[in-house]
A and B are shown apart, each in its own frame.
Chain A
Amino acid sequence: MSQKLSNAQIAWRAAQDIADGAYVNLGIGFPEMVAKFQPPGRQAIFHTENGVLNFGEAPSAGEEDWDLINAGKKAITLKPGAAFFHHADSFGMVRGGHLDVAILGTYEVAENGDLANWSTGPKGVPAVGGAMDLVHGAKRVAVITDHVTKDGKPKLVKRCTLPLTGVGCVTRVYSSLAVIDIEHGRFVLREKLPSMSVEELQAVTGAELMLPDVIGDLVAPEVS
């Protein structure tokens, strides 16, 4: 593979699909980067599991208020129109279908929409956090990920082999090589890097790609 999108470019691409006024939950870590790339003129309202809507960027060093954090325990700031609420209300927003989009990272995602993103196996201390709740209820559950693992194995697979986070929950995958929808238990290719053939993409994808009549070019600006 000669080229692929950087993590920032994957995040940028995912951000292009977030509508003005959308209520959005971004998973801890890589998905948080999506907030940086909101298109001009659009404002998403970000939700965090520990009970804040409409939070903004991190405060400058020394300005942190540790009672004001996100689910990743990082200090945040508030935007005008922010709200606090308790944990049961927060997850009511999640499971109750009130969020427009949840964007998560992943270890594996299967063509049937199954997601494995919380455990790499029985070793160590298991920790699930809010991931198993977040994959249920949002109108769209999207995954952002490198297309393959560090040792080149497909992360988009026929069936997940790692412990599942949720069954049949993912609707779209933004990868370093392609944008793929999950429809009726199949991967449907929507966009791919223009430098890559369908055959090359299929070779690094663990399940068959459905090919609609129109497949767009996946092009992202140089962002970081």
Chain B
Amino acid sequence: MDKTVPDLAAAVAGIEDGMVLMVGGFGGSGAPIELIHALIDRFKATGSPKNLTVVNNNAGNGRIGIAAMIDAGMVSKMVCSFPRSADPRAFTEKYLAGEIALELVPQGTLAERIRAGGAGIPAFYTPASFGTDVAKGKPVAEFDGKSYVQERWLKADAALIKAELADTMGNLTYRKAARNFSPLMAAAAKLTIVQATKIVAPGEIDPEQVVTPGIFVNRVVEVADAKQEEALMRDGVAYA
């Protein structure tokens, strides 16, 4: 079994118009910049993929990554908890112009919906958002004297993930706080695509250190000199 693919273009093949795309990362930490930019390259060359629903904690920052996807016109809807950032122009302009939809989800609910999607749990109850505008229209129930809101699972057609180490079977480790949503998204997507800083042979990652088991991973591409979104932001880089 070898899940490695030769390059970024091969890695993002099969992501098509109208798909739900989960993108790992919290701010710049764990953002799979090179995979996102490979998808933008394909859109610019072929006009596809477009009308994507993108799931991420945020809605892009500056002129790179998810913000550059929005700028390019590939995204019709964001599912996120916090569509603000140091430089939220890309999302804000399109949102206020009515050109992009927003599903606002409390951060812990977003994580748990994704976890449930990967774990085969169609719905669950959480105390978060009970009695608030965010809970409007959702079923509520009382358990042991306390009120909870029903939330549905969240699944995706594809996920883009940044890992530190991957073996050729797709077992992953992450760097510092960069794991955040990625292990959940890897399980919740039909097609999980990983860029890893280094790909190693099976056995070279201690099984006790594996964070995401390879069963959740479909493709791995090595990006040895992966850029960090926040560092690019601070250098004023635009991907256009």
Q: A-side interface residues toward B, CB under 8 Å? A: 49-52, 65-69, 73, 84-88, 90-91, 94-95, 114, 119, 124-134, 136-137, 163-167
Question: Does B96 sit at the interface, judged by CB under 8 A?
Answer: yes
A90 CA to B106 CA, complexed, in Å: 13
What is the CA–CA distance of A90 and B232 in the complex, to the nearest angstrom?
27
User: Given A125-B91, A130-B107, A136-B127, are A69 and B177 also a contact pair (CB < 8 Å)?
Assistant: yes
**Option from A52, A94, A167 in Cβ contact (under 8 Å) with B131:** A167
Are the CB atoms of B95 and A87 closer together than 8 Å? no
Interface size class of B (residues with CB under 8 A): 35 or more
B residues 48-89 near A (Cβ < 8 Å) are 57, 81-86, 88
- Interface residues as binary, B8-24 with A (CB distance below 8 Å gives 1, 0 otherwise): 00000000000000000
**Is A86 within 8 A of B179, CB to CB?**
yes
* Complex CA distance for A130 and B112, rounded to whole angstroms: 12
Establish whether residues B108 and A94, one from each chain, have CB atoms under 8 Å apart when the complex forms: yes
A130→B180 CA distance, assembly (Å)? 13
Tell me whether B128 and A136 are in contact (CB under 8 A).
Answer: yes
B54 to chain A, nearest CB (A): 15
Instruction: Classify the interface of chain A: helix, strand, loop or mixed.
Output: loop
- In order of increasing CB-CB distance, the 3 nearest A-B pairs are A91-B108, A133-B108, A167-B131
* Partner among A68, A90, A114 whose Cβ is within 8 Å of the Cβ of B111: A90
Per the bound structure, the CA–CA distance linking A137 and B29 in Å amounts to 26
Given contacts A94-B108, A129-B107, A133-B128, contact A50 B81 (CB under 8 A): no
Write out the residue numbers on chain B whose beta carbons fall within 8 Å of the beta carbon of A127: 81-84, 104
Q: Are B128 and A164 in contact (CB under 8 A)?
A: no
B182 to chain A, nearest CB (A): 7
The CA of A84 and the CA of B27, in the complex, are separated in Å by: 16
For residue A12, give the distance in angstroms from its CB to the closest CB of chain B: 28
Let me know if B106 and A67 touch, CB within 8 A.
Answer: no
| B1 interface residue (CB < 8 Å to A) | no
> Is the Cβ of A50 less than 8 Å from the Cβ of B180?
yes
A122 to chain B, nearest CB (A): 9
* Residues of chain B with a CB closer than 8 A to A136's CB: 126-128
B37 at the interface (CB under 8 A from A): no
Determine if B170 is an interface residue (Cβ-Cβ < 8 Å): no
Contact present for A166 and B131 (CB under 8 Å): yes
In B117-166, the 8 Å CB interface with A consists of 126-134, 147
Does B42 have its Cβ within 8 Å of any Cβ on chain A? no
Q: Which residue of A lies closest to B212 (CB)?
A: A86
Residues of A within 8 A of B130 (CB): 166-167
Interface presence of B109 (CB below 8 A):
yes
- Tell me the smallest distance from the CB of A50 to a CB of chain B, in Å: 4
